[in-house]
Chains A and B, each alone.
Chain A
Amino acid sequence: MFFQRPFYFPNAGSRNVFSELERMRQDMGRLMEGFGSEIFSQPSAGVFPLVNLTEDTNGYFVRAELPGLKADELNITATGNTLSISGERKISIEGKDIRYHRREREAGSFSRIISLPGDVDANKVDAKLTDGILTVYIPKAETAKPKQITVK
C-alpha cells in the first residue's frame, strides 16, 4: 500500500503510461486510415506550388493556385511521364512613402516536378492560367489509355 512506497516516484509507472500512449497513437492511426487519404491529405511533396492531380479517361489534370502570376512568368515542360512547373512570383514594391500594416503575401521562385502515374503525350500538353489557377491538361499516351474490350 501507500506506506510500503514511502517515496513516490512519478516515473515508477512510466512504462505503463508510455505503452498506453503508444496504444492510443495506434488507435488514432487506424482511425485516420478509415477516413481515407483525402481528408487528411498532407502536402505529399511539400514543395510549392501545391497541386491537385486528377484524371479522366483521356488525360491528367494538374491544378495549382498561383495568384498574381502572369502566363509568361511560368515555365512548364513535360517529358516522359513527368511535368515540371517553375517560375517566380513577384510582388512589386508599391512606392516609397507607404507604411505596411500587414505583409502576408510572399514572393519568390519555385520549381517542382510532378510524376504522373502513366505515360503521357508530351506534345499535346495544354496549360491555362485563369483567375490565379493554373490548369495543365496532359493527354495520356495511347499505350496508357484504358482499352474497352468487347466480349464476343
Chain B
Amino acid sequence: MTDTIGKELQARQKTEVNAPAEQTTQGVIFVPAVDIFESEKDITLLADLPGVKSKDLKIDLRDNILTLSAEVAPFEEADEKDLFVEYEIGNYYRQFTLSELINQEKIDARLQDGVLRLILPKSDKAVPKKIAVKVA
C-alpha cells in the first residue's frame, strides 16, 4: 500500500553539497534524498543513491555523526556523444548527527536498486522504558 495514489512525480534537479571545505577530487557532489524514521527499537534511514554499487558506498558512524559517502563510476561508454543532458552524475555525501545511542555492532545496511536501507538499532540504554505509576 502506498499513501500517494494518483500523485505525479515532479522532475527535480539534484541538490549539490554546500561543502565547508573544498574537495580534493573533481566533480560535483550531491545530497541524497533520505527518509529517516524511528521505532522504539531502531532508527531506519533510507537513501536514494542511484548508480552506486555496494563496494563504492562508505558508511561511517563515530561520535554520533553518521556519514554517508558514495562514489558513482561513470557508466557511459567512450564513444558515446551527448545529445542532451538533463541530470548530472556525481558522488553523494551527507552527514547526520544522531541523538540516540546506537548499538554499533548490530547496524545493518543493504543497498538494493539504488536505495540504501540502513538500520541503526538503539542501544539498550536508549530504548524507552515504561514507568509504571503506582497508586499510592
B15 to chain A, nearest CB (A): 10
> Are A61 and B114 interface neighbours, CB within 8 A?
no
Check B113 for interface membership: any CB of A closer than 8 A: yes
User: Which chain A residues (104-128) contact chain B, with CB distance < 8 Å?
Assistant: 104-110, 117
A104 with B35: CB separation less than 8 A: yes
CB proximity to A under 8 Å, residues B37-80: 37-40, 43-44, 46, 48-53, 75-77, 79-80
A99 touching B38, Cβ below 8 Å: yes
Do the beta carbons of B81 and A132 come within 8 Å of each other? Answer: no
20 contacts between A and B (CB under 8 A): A41-B86, A45-B86, A53-B84, A54-B80, A54-B81, A60-B83, A65-B114, A67-B113, A68-B113, A98-B44, A99-B38, A100-B37, A102-B34, A104-B33, A104-B34, A108-B8, A131-B114, A132-B50, A133-B75, A135-B75
Contact partner of A109 (CB less than 8 A), chosen from B6, B33, B77, B84, is B6
Q: Does B115 sit within 8 A of A, measured CB to CB?
A: yes
Q: Mark B12-51, 1 if CB is under 8 A from A, else 0.
A: 1100000000000000000001111111100110101111
> On chain A, which size bracket covers the interface?
35 or more
**A interface residues, Cβ below 8 angstroms from B:** 38, 41, 43-57, 60-61, 63, 65-70, 89-95, 97-110, 117, 129, 131-133, 135
- Judged by DSSP, the binding face of B is loop
Complexed CA–CA distance, A50 and B82 (Å): 14
- Asked if B3 CB lies within 8 Å of chain A CBs, one says yes
| B136 proximity list for chain A (CB < 8 A) | none
Contact of A44 among B1, B9, B49, B84 (CB under 8 A): B84
Residue B7 CB within 8 A of the other chain: yes
User: Number of residues in B with C-beta < 8 Å to the partner?
Assistant: 45
Q: Is the CB of B114 within 8 A of A68?
A: yes
Give the chain B neighbours of A52 by CB distance below 8 A.
Answer: 82, 84-87
A131 pairs with B51, CB closer than 8 A = yes
B95 CB to closest chain A CB, in angstroms?
Answer: 13
- Tell me if B11 counts as interface (CB < 8 A to partner A): yes
Contact yes or no, A109 B7, CB < 8 A: yes
With a CB–CB cut-off of 8 A, which chain A residues contact B86? 41, 43-45, 50-52
